Amino acid sequence: MKTLYFFLLFVCTLASCKKAKVESVNTNNSRDSLTYQPKVPGSTWTYRRTVGGIDNTTYTYTRLSADTTAYGFVFNIFSSTDNTNSGNQYIRQEGGKYYSILTASTNKPALLILDTAKNINESWLGGVNGSDTYTFTMKQKINTYILDNFTFKNVLVVHLDRTGPNPLSADTYYAQGVGQVKSDGTTNVSGFNVSVNVKLISVDLK
């Protein structure tokens, strides 16, 4: 295991600004180095979410040692905790396809959120949840991507179009051997477009 460091530039939207922050990043070159969602128990990912440019929330995913069965398949369990809430996320990898259970919905469908075999501009139906339809498109394949002075390799950029009562359009960046590192999107709330941005600020891979 090796320890890497990258600088996080926090761009202030309020009256004052904070200086660049250094976070520790532990990554590895072991069995999870080729996957787009590492699964070794004890691994953690911490993200900062900004909504409308002012609502900043930090939350952490932790890979638990337990798995669960849903729809006849085994899903890995990741706990999610933020400032006030906690819950679980469920991920399944089948070759180059990655499925995530939409736990916030009543039906809790499994969405195909990433298909690494797709070529640039190829799309796929991720799933349907009630009146919401999730369509994904492989937007870019980047050999080297730099985020806050940290270099990620073999990054896939996937565009999501969610149609329905609360439409969402977003680009998510997945780095090989790390997982999701960034997401930039816009959703519509009561007729107003609101930006939703998520960025990885630290990761510890076991």
Residue predicted with more confidence, 92 or 148: 92
How many domains is the chain built from? 1
Predicted confidence (pLDDT) at residue 22 exceeds the cutoff of 70: no
Give the Cα separation of 47 and 144 in Å (integer): 21
User: What average pLDDT score do residues 111-133 get?
Assistant: 95
Give the Cα separation of 183 and 170 in Å (integer): 7
Residue predicted with more confidence, 103 or 78: 78
pLDDT at 102: 80
Residue-wise pLDDT tens digits, 158-167: 999 999 888 9
Which residues span the domain enclosing 15?
Answer: 2-204
Q: What is the number of alpha carbons within 13 Å of residue 60 lying toward its C-beta? A: 11
User: What average pLDDT score do residues 137-155 get?
Assistant: 94
For residues 174 and 155, the answer to whether their CB atoms sit within 8 Å is yes
Residue-wise pLDDT tens digits, 58-93: 999 999 999 999 999 999 999 999 876 788 999 999
Predicted confidence (pLDDT) at residue 32 exceeds the cutoff of 80: no
Mean pLDDT of all residues belonging to the chain: 84
Predicted confidence (pLDDT) at residue 16 exceeds the cutoff of 80: no
Q: CB under 8 Å to 16, separation ≥6 — which residues?
A: none
pLDDT at 131: 86
Give the Cα separation of 180 and 182 in Å (integer): 6
CATH code of the domain covering residue 82: 2.40.360
User: What average pLDDT score do residues 120-141 get?
Assistant: 95
Reading the block at residue 171, the tokens are 């680009």
